Structures are given as C-alpha cells and as structure tokens.
Amino acid sequence: MSLIDVLNENNIAVNLPVKSKKELINTIAQLACKSPVLKDIDCKTVESTLWEREELASTGLGSGVAIPHCRLPGLSTFVVGVAITKKSIDFDAIDNEKVNIFPFVIGPEENPKEHLKVLSGMARLLRNPETRNAMRKARTAEDLFELLKGLLEDVSSVAPQPVGPAMRMLHVFVRDEEIFNDVLQVFASGEPIGAMVLEAHESTEYLSGMPIFAGFWNNDLNTFNRIIIAVVKENLLNQTLRSIEYVCGDLRKQTDVMVTVTDLHHALGSLDF
C-alpha cells in the first residue's frame, strides 16, 4: 500500500480559519469522519484518540508541518487527508515554529508497521520546501489533491530494471544527523527486507589519539557517523535510490552522504521488524 492509495480528496481542506491546537484537532476529526472507513466510529472518539497521541509527544515536525495521527481498533484501512489553515498556529513543534500544514493519518490499531510506513512517507514528501510552498498556495481541496497526487506518482514511479540478482545490499554512510533522520524515514516508508543502523567512527578519530599524529585534526573531527545497512528487492532499488536523493539532494554534490550498492547472490532467512 502507498500514500496515493489512501489519500482522498474528501479528506482535504484548505484555508481553514482555525486559531488553536484544540480547534485544529476537532477540525481534523470532523474531516476524517467524512470517510466511509469511519462510518461506525463516533467523531468524538477520533478526536479524543488524536488528543491522546498528542499528549504522548507533539506531532509537530518543524518547518510549519505537523502530522496528527492515531490508531483505532476495527478499521479495515487508513484514512489520510490534509488540513491547511489560513494562518499558522502554535502546535508545540520541535522547532518552536508555528504550523499551518497538517496531513493526518487514522489507521488500524492492528497494523502498526503499515502505519509507520504511511507516516514516514508523508514526512519524507513534506521534507521538500518546494512541496510545502506549493501546498500553501493551493486555493481549493481539488487543487491540493491533484498536486499531491502528481508528487506521489512521481516519487513512486519505478524505472525498468535490468536483469540481475534479485536482491541488492545498500550501505548509506551519513555524517549529518538531520540528513540521517530523513534517510532513515525512506527505509521506514519503503519495503526493504530490513534496515539496521551502525554507529561508526572515522579513522581520523583513532589516528588523532596516536602521539605521532597529535595536533593534525584538533577539534575538526566529525563525531556523528552512522551507517544504514539494508537489503532491498531489485525491483525497488531505483525507487529507493531516488527517494534517498529526494531528501538529500543531488548525491553527486553531497559531502556528508555516500550510498553504495552491492549485488547479493545469496540471501537466506529474514528479519521481522
């Protein structure tokens, strides 16, 4: 399942005259309940469950975006929509900035993995400032739906794959914490067999501790180094690489990210994450 399969124009609204977090959550509950998926659930239940999730930690991601979400028992699928307010409101975002873009996700309680994929996919899409600006300019729900539909189709399109091994091994070397968080969301929202993270240290960190090399690096050492290792199905390789580049920018110009791809001739077993 992808975002484009569950996003519905009936669950989208723009230019909302909302002035507070409480009013926003109520508005999202009402908007979500337009979906037939929630026909047997009272809107007050949706609202209170969204509030319970917010009490755990704010869903404000920063850059004017928050993704209120919750899981409910008995749902057959997801309800995904977007609310854009006329003016930005306080939402306890991690960067302390006000928010006016509110994609929301209501999902089945029994399917946390798919819920994570939907959330991560939406967060990754909104990482792009051009996407956020275009969303803010949408005049109608239909305009916004068509914009998002086009973006999601572009991100999810897969180029023809060459004949070769069925699986590939990806290593993503990252030296920037913000980029690391964005790249990790790519794997959370995609379909690799599994992804793990290793904490690494640059060789210069060890060399700087040797007396013979003392004074060469001083305080210039990069202490944030992570390696994401993932096994990816070959038919998803191009899509995964494009998604990584989408959040990082042109990899050929990056100095804090490097991606390597290795053929896998044997892959036995699996990891359930």
Number of neighbouring beta carbons within 10 Å of residue 112: 11
Half-sphere exposure of 238 (CA within 13 A, CB side): 10
Please give the helix or strand (H or E) that residue 187 lies within, else none. Answer: helix 177-189
Q: Residues 24, 3: contact at Cβ < 8 Å? A: no
Verify whether residue 265 is a known catalytic residue: no
Among residues 69, 201, 265, 266, which one is catalytic? Answer: 69
d(CA 227, CA 229): 6
Q: How far is CA 22 from the centre of its chain?
A: 25
Closest among 108, 117, 131 to 3, alpha carbons compared: 117
Give me the phi and psi of 261, to 5 degrees please: -125, 130
- State the catalytic residues: 69
